[in-house]
Amino acid sequence: MGDEKAFSHLFEKHYAHLIRYGNSLSPLKDKVQDCVQEVFTDIWIYRESISESIVVKAYLLSSVRKRIARHQERDRFFGKTTSIDTIEFLLDFSIEHDLIADETTANKVFNLNKLLNELPSRQKEALYLRYHQGLSVDEIASTLDVNYQSANNLLYRAVLNLRKDWKDIILLFLAVTTSLL
Amino acid sequence: MQERNNYIEIEDFLSNESFNLWVKYQIDEQNWEEWTLEDPKRAKLVEEARLWILAMKVSEPTLNQKTIDIALEKTWGKINKKEKNINIFQKSPKKFLDNKWIKSVAAVFILGLISSWFYNNTILNTTSTPIYNELIQDNKEGLVEQTNNSSKPQIITLSDGSSVLLQPNSKLSYPKTFVGNERKVYLSGEGFFEISKNRKKPFFVYANEIVTRVVGTSFRIRAYDNQPDIEVLVHTGEVKIKSNQSVTKSNNQEVVLFPNQALQFSRKNLTFNKINDIKTDRTLIQTTDNIEQLSFDFKDTPVNQILKIIEEAYLVQIDYPKDKLKNCYLTTSLNDQPLPEKLKIICKSLGNNTTYEMNGNQIIITSKGCD
């Protein structure tokens, strides 16, 4: 009984987030629901053998991702996709409009947001897992099925490239506005 | 966490929860504002980090509690199914298929599947086999069968407090008590079901080629062996219907019905026809019964009258002390409640000294009047 309660609690706490993550990896909503529910099914069935030390959130996220990848492999209607690497992270970052008061900030944020959304899908996913799900680099590596160094590169490259591009844009922006004056 | 005075990259800020809280919700637990103003270089970095957070919004997921509840329930269903499969295979885990004996059993099983598929697809549609018999043979729960050979509907109460009004020439098989995480019954013919609510234990009605799944609702199923269609009419709540894959070997579609909706399933083509409003369909509404047409919403209604309506709806005989109850009035809604639940609510509202006893279609209410 206590187990069941804990399970329901775990489910209620994480389900919505996992569905959203799943939806950002596959457009097939029913499939995503199935995958997430299957992940929980396995957690219940193998609850004796799952080590207690695992970080729940990272484990759930990576299980959902792996299961979606497996479904993609299996299902013909995904066309060409055959391996975990071709999973695409489709979620777009949006803008915190409510927190922006002045136009200069709005412009900067708008450009930065555009650059962020233009990043390669895996870099975007790494950023999402790092800054929105709070996963460590280690955990991101295991979720994306790459080694630590690659995961670190994904994150580092994403931020580095972006800051460079962004500075260029801001300089350009400044140049344009000053020349207009 | 790294000491913030050593922060040199915006990544350091982005992954700091307290910093995020400050930017997004102005909750400044660690005096970020003061700390930022201490050093102009630092302020520049902080400002950039702030812009990043503003440009990287991911809104909170929007699933309501009901959706999550339904998903949890579905997951329990999946767990049960999987656990059953595991129990079958657990006895000889790895070398299961190495065993010659198992191989021959498997061969026979597969042969059986092929022939039953052949059978279903060629013979079923012309002669309509009694699927009901096969289904109850597959069930190992020790079922009780009730057949209605009379000319009037018969009431059946189940161990979970649900009630079924079984039409003439119909049969219902059900376990004496429901065990496990599912409630399963088997119907041949027609019945009106009022199911007691239990989210953890979904209720399944197997009727010919379809399976109807609910957690607590009322609905009518019409599934006669000699009829070309199966019909499901929903009175209250939500009902989900699928074709029974072990019988039809096809069509994984699930149809959800809400009150006053109905479904016709063509047994020949295995197709669903959904009717969005029973009330606009004259032939369908005529097939409903007293029980769906009577209202169980009572406002200051004499208890004697309420009991009469129940007698009429469920075709039961209620023996009650008319004199003692003649001054008792009730305001209550008994729609969507199985018969035992209706009786329980009435007795409870009358006070502690009122009880009921039910034996088949005979009900005896003992009471000293209302307090």
Interval A93-119: pLDDT, tens: 988 888 888 888 888 888 889 888 988
Query: Whole-number mean pLDDT of chain A?
Result: 81
Least confident among A6-20, B19-33, B119-133, B332-346: B119-133
- With an 8 Å Cβ cutoff, are A93 and B82 in contact? no
Least confident among A43-52, B158-167, B304-313: A43-52
User: In the predicted model, what is the mean pLDDT of residues A27-33?
Assistant: 87
For chain A, the DSSP string reads -HHHHHHHHHHHHHHHHHHHHHHTT-S-HHHHHHHHHHHHHHHHHTTTTS-TTS-HHHHHHHHHHHHHHHHHHH-GGGTT--SGGG----PPPB--GGG--SHHHHHHHHHHHHHHHHS-HHHHHHHIIIIIS---HHHHHHHHT--HHHHHHHHHHHHHHHHHHHHHHHHHHHHHHHHH-
B84 close contact with A: CB closer than 8 A? no
B88 close contact with A: CB closer than 8 A? no
B59 close contact with A: CB closer than 8 A? yes
pLDDT at B191: 93
Please provide residue B154's backbone torsions phi and psi, each rounded to the nearest 5 degrees: -120, 140
Task: Give whichever of A69-73, B20-24, B87-91 has the largest mean pLDDT.
Answer: B20-24
pLDDT value at A16 more than 70: yes
Q: Cα distance from A169 to chain B (closest Cα, Å)?
A: 14
Q: Where are the alpha helices (DSSP H) in chain B?
A: 10-14, 17-25, 32-37, 40-55, 65-89, 100-119, 125-127, 131-138, 245-248, 282-286, 290-293, 303-314, 322-325, 339-350
Per-residue confidence band for B193, with pLDDT thresholds at 50, 70 and 90: very high
A126 close contact with B: CB closer than 8 A? no
| Chain B residues with beta carbon closer than 8 angstroms to that of A112 | 51-52, 55
- With an 8 Å Cβ cutoff, are A16 and B62 in contact? yes
Per-residue confidence band for A144, with pLDDT thresholds at 50, 70 and 90: confident
What is the Cα–Cα distance from A140 to A131, expressed in whole angstroms? 11
| Chain B residues with beta carbon closer than 8 angstroms to that of A17 | 61
In sequence order, the 6+-apart residues with CB closer than 8 A to the CB of B271 are B251, B265
B1 close contact with A: CB closer than 8 A? no
pLDDT at B151: 84
Amino acid at B206: Y
| Chain B residues with beta carbon closer than 8 angstroms to that of A163 | 10
Q: What percent of chain A is predicted at pLDDT more than 90?
A: 12
pLDDT value at B13 more than 80: yes
In sequence order, the 6+-apart residues with CB closer than 8 A to the CB of A5 are none
Q: Write down the CATH number for the domain with range B131-290.
A: 2.60.120.1440
What is the Cα–Cα distance from B140 to B73, expressed in whole angstroms? 24
Q: How far is CA A103 from the centre of its chain?
A: 29
A108 close contact with B: CB closer than 8 A? yes
pLDDT digits (tens, 9 = 90+) for B260-306: 888 888 888 888 888 888 877 767 777 777 788 788 888 888 888 89
pLDDT at B60: 79
pLDDT value at A85 more than 60: no
- With an 8 Å Cβ cutoff, are B57 and A93 in contact? yes
What is the Cα–Cα distance from B144 to A117, expressed in whole angstroms? 62
pLDDT value at B204 more than 90: yes
For B314-365, the DSSP string reads HT-EEE--HHHHTT-EEEEE-TT--HHHHHHHHHHHH-TT-EEEEETTEEEE
What is the Cα–Cα distance from A73 to A81, expressed in whole angstroms? 7
Entry pTM: 0.47
Q: Which of residues 10-69 of A touch B (CB under 8 A)?
A: 11-12, 15-17, 19-20, 33, 36-38, 40-41, 44-45
What is the Cα–Cα distance from A121 to A119, expressed in whole angstroms? 6
- With an 8 Å Cβ cutoff, are A109 and B58 in contact? no
Q: Cα distance from A111 to chain B (closest Cα, Å)?
A: 9
Residue B194: strand, helix, or coil: strand
Beta-strand pair B297-302/B355-359: unpaired
- With an 8 Å Cβ cutoff, are A37 and B78 in contact? yes
| Chain A residues with beta carbon closer than 8 angstroms to that of B52 | 112
What is the Cα–Cα distance from A13 to A43, expressed in whole angstroms? 15
pLDDT at A174: 61
- With an 8 Å Cβ cutoff, are A15 and B71 in contact? yes
Per-residue confidence band for A44, with pLDDT thresholds at 50, 70 and 90: confident
A89 close contact with B: CB closer than 8 A? no
**Identity of the residue in B55, B61, B79 whose CB atom sits nearest the CB atom of A16:** B61
Q: Cα distance from A121 to chain B (closest Cα, Å)?
A: 14
**A113 and A162 in contact (C-beta within 8 Å)?**
no
pLDDT at B108: 62
pLDDT at B40: 85
What is the Cα–Cα distance from A27 to A88, expressed in whole angstroms? 10
pLDDT value at B356 more than 70: yes
Least confident among B105-109, B168-172, B193-197: B105-109
Distance (Å) of CA B90 to CA B79, B93, B99, B195: 16, 5, 14, 35
pLDDT value at B187 more than 60: yes
In total, the C-beta contacts within 8 angstroms joining chain A to chain B are 88
Beta-strand pair B254-257/B239-243: antiparallel
**A139 and A55 in contact (C-beta within 8 Å)?**
yes
Instruction: List B254's β-bridge partners, or say none.
Output: B242
CB atoms within 10 A of CB A148: 13
pLDDT digits (tens, 9 = 90+) for B233-269: 988 888 999 888 777 766 667 888 888 888 888 888 8
Instruction: List B218's β-bridge partners, or say none.
Output: B194, B236
A163 close contact with B: CB closer than 8 A? yes
- With an 8 Å Cβ cutoff, are B54 and A128 in contact? no
Each domain of chain A, given as residue ranges in start order, spans: 2-86, 97-180
Q: Write down the CATH number for the domain with range A97-180.
A: 1.10.10.10
- CA end-to-end distance (rounded Å), chain B: 67
Element (H, E) at B270: none
- With an 8 Å Cβ cutoff, are A41 and B74 in contact? no
**Identity of the residue in A40, A44, A96 whose CB atom sits nearest the CB atom of B57:** A96
The maximal CA–CA distance of chain A, rounded, in angstroms, is 72
- With an 8 Å Cβ cutoff, are A96 and B10 in contact? no
Q: What is the CA radius of gyration of chain A?
A: 20
In sequence order, the 6+-apart residues with CB closer than 8 A to the CB of B92 are B99, B102
User: In the predicted model, what is the mean pLDDT of residues A41-60?
Assistant: 76
DSSP state of B150: S
Higher per-residue pLDDT: A78 or B3: B3
Question: Do the domains spanning B131-290 and B294-366 agree at the CATH topology level?
Answer: no
Beta-strand pair B362-366/B317-319: parallel
B23 close contact with A: CB closer than 8 A? yes
Please provide residue A102's backbone torsions phi and psi, each rounded to the nearest 5 degrees: -110, 160
User: In the predicted model, what is the mean pLDDT of residues B196-203?
Assistant: 88
**B285 and B279 in contact (C-beta within 8 Å)?**
yes
DSSP state of B45: H
Q: Which CATH number fits domain B294-366: 3.90.1530.10, 3.40.50.1460, 3.90.1150.10, 3.55.50.30?
A: 3.55.50.30
**Identity of the residue in A96, A113, A130 whose CB atom sits nearest the CB atom of B24:** A96
Each domain of chain B, given as residue ranges in start order, spans: 4-55, 64-93, 131-290, 294-366
Amino acid at B360: G
DSSP state of B122: I
Q: Cα distance from B63 to chain A (closest Cα, Å)?
A: 6
- With an 8 Å Cβ cutoff, are A94 and B59 in contact? yes
Provide the token pair at A128: 């999402």
Per-residue confidence band for B192, with pLDDT thresholds at 50, 70 and 90: very high
pLDDT at A84: 47
pLDDT value at A79 more than 60: no
DSSP state of B219: E
User: In the predicted model, what is the mean pLDDT of residues B354-358?
Assistant: 89
B79 close contact with A: CB closer than 8 A? yes
- With an 8 Å Cβ cutoff, are B54 and A40 in contact? no
pLDDT at B194: 92
